[in-house]
Chains A and B, each alone.
Chain A
Amino acid sequence: MQGLVTFVLAIISAMLVDNVVLSRFYGICPFLGVSKKTKSAIGMGVAVIFVIVLATIICWPLYQLLKLAHVEFLDTVAYILVIASLVQLVGLFIKKYSPTLYANLGIYLPLITTNCAVLGVAQGNTDQGYDFLTSLANGIGTSVGFFLIIVVFSCIRTRLESANTPKAFKGLPIALITAAIMAMAFMGLQGLFVQG
């Protein structure tokens, strides 16, 4: 029971309090690139959830293996290999089952490979020395947090399209300002868990 509570708390903490997009500015490229339409934002979010969770599950045992062979310095290279393969897999899958989504995501789909949120989670888990469950919680939390933020952001941007923004701020500038305000709003969640 205690373990479950810690697990859920770790997920929520990674999702809301330490949201990687807003607190560390990971994964900004798809965050700005694919957030014009809510539908593609959802597709992107789901793809990132899939890649991050699977990458976490694979990377943790992989690191143990690397540690066993005393070649820990290979971690980043090995993670990139795993992530790149997973992204290829997701790409094949989406191409088969949703060609529209495939066309909408466009170049941003293969770019999940270089999405620093994905590598950031895998590398962060290693650097923090998390055990498997904590790593998994961190992975789920981070990816769901990314999903949440990109979907919310895309909804805001859809409304902004029709808003009367000054000409110089149309498009990306106002989107960046919105992201900054969202980041400040999420800072308010910092005190959600009090160490005790």
Chain B
Amino acid sequence: MEILWSIIILLVLGALLGLGLAIAAKVLHVKEDERIEEVAKRLPNYNCGSCGYAGCKGLAEAIIAGKEDNLRKCKPGKEDANFKPILEYLENHPNEDGSKVKAHI
């Protein structure tokens, strides 16, 4: 009986809190440059921080913002698996004013 109640209570609690958070995430949504997400997706996503930024998303933000152009800062990244796809993506998705995001390997 105890086990049953434990499971029910935690399930209900978790579902309620999750629902609340889902609604809050919708209401408090911040519009972000979708390219950040796309670049982050192409990074290794170890979140090792060896690039000097807070996780892969931090590096992606810096690349898109033009603060970082050396992809080699990402130590675990591989040329074929990560860097080339990112360069290709950036090539095809320029800034709003038409200029390219600068990045090199």
Contacts and interface: CB of A to CB of B under 8 A. Distances in A.
A69 interface: yes
Dominant SS among interface residues on chain B: helix
Contacts of B6: 69, 71, 74
B14 A81 contact: yes
Contacts of B30: 95-96, 99
B10 A77 contact: yes
Contacts of B2: 69-71
A66 B9 CA distance: 8
A81 B21 contact: no
A30 B21 CA distance: 24
Contact of A81 (B5, B17, B29, B54): B17
B9 A78 contact: yes
Contacts of A66: 9
Contacts of A107: 54
A92 B25 CA distance: 7
Interface of B: 2, 5-6, 9-10, 13-14, 17-18, 20-21, 24-25, 28-30, 54
Interface of A: 62, 65-66, 69-71, 74, 77-78, 81-82, 85, 88-89, 92-93, 95-96, 99, 106-107
